[in-house]
Amino acid sequence: MFYFFLAILPGILIIVYFYKRDRLEPEPKWMIVKTFFLGILASSAALFFNSLFGGIFQNNLLIGAVLIAPIVEESCKFYSVKYFRFKDKHFTEPMDGIVYGVTVAVGFAVMENLNYVYRALQEGHVYYTLIIRGFLSVPAHALFAVIWGYALGMYKFGKKDENFVKNSLIQAMIFHSAFNAIAVLVNPIWDIFYLALLSVYLWYIADKDIRSAIKNSPYQNDFDEEK
């Protein structure tokens, strides 16, 4: 049970971080919990489609990891937010697109992480798996979601450009593909280094998008007046 707790903990900390950044009009906590479980459902849908398309390509590891998984997984997360949160009355500012996107992504990643940790326990490399996935893979899922979550939020509150949303989703898929390609193709001695570099850049993008989302919030003026 301790190992499974460690598999869940990084995701919870990530949600808390992004929730704290939503300082103008935070989401109800019960909506965050529901959205987390929505991410778990999205992971089940992705598992089905990954298996379906993986079978078409005879379960080729490279094609599955670099092509199929990024498209399927980012699509499942994106459409979970678009169809089940975008029109919700609690989606009231651009930052909410990021918060809901990250929360769905973390629910997705935690479910995936539990599966990896269970397998690692059987194979005897659980600590390596916990470190790699806890510090790199789980945060990466959240950071991919920031890109299209920000676009959804901006689309709803001002920037009515469908191409911006589509391009942001594609951008997230490309980053996801690059992350998986490094993990699959690069020598294990170097893959952590390159994954860490990519993660730093993704954190930079996330911070920039958060600042922009807050700046464009309809609650920004009210917050400034209260200070």
185 part of a folded domain: yes
**How many CB atoms lie under 10 A from the CB of residue 132?**
19
Per-residue pLDDT, 222 = 59
Number of structural domains (the chain) is 1
User: Which residue pairs, CB below 8 angstroms and at least 24 apart, start in 155-158?
Assistant: 156/86, 156/91, 156/94, 156/97, 157/93, 157/94, 157/216, 157/217, 157/218, 158/94, 158/216
pTM of the predicted model as reported, rounded to 2 decimal places: 0.94
192 part of a folded domain: yes
220 part of a folded domain: no
Task: Write out the residue range of the structural domain in which residue 91 sits.
Answer: 2-215
Per-residue pLDDT, 226 = 52
126 part of a folded domain: yes
Distance separating the N- and C-terminal Cα atoms of the chain: 45
Per-residue pLDDT, 223 = 54
Rounded Cα distance between 192 and 199, Å, is 10
Tens digit of pLDDT per residue, the chain (227 long)?
788 888 899 999 999 999 999 999 999 999 999 999 999 999 999 999 999 988 777 678 889 999 999 999 999 999 999 999 999 999 999 999 999 999 999 999 999 999 988 888 888 778 878 888 889 999 999 999 999 999 999 999 987 789 999 999 999 999 999 999 999 888 877 888 999 999 999 999 999 999 999 999 999 865 554 54
Rounded Cα distance between 62 and 68, Å, is 9
84 part of a folded domain: yes
17 part of a folded domain: yes
Burial 16-46 (b: 16+ CB within 10 A, else e): eebbebbebbbbeeebbeebbebbbbbbebb
226 part of a folded domain: no
User: Would you give the DSSP letter of residue 217?
Assistant: -
224 part of a folded domain: no
The tens digit of pLDDT for each residue in 39-73 reads 999 999 999 999 998 877 767 888 999 999 999 99
**How many CB atoms lie under 10 A from the CB of residue 111?**
22
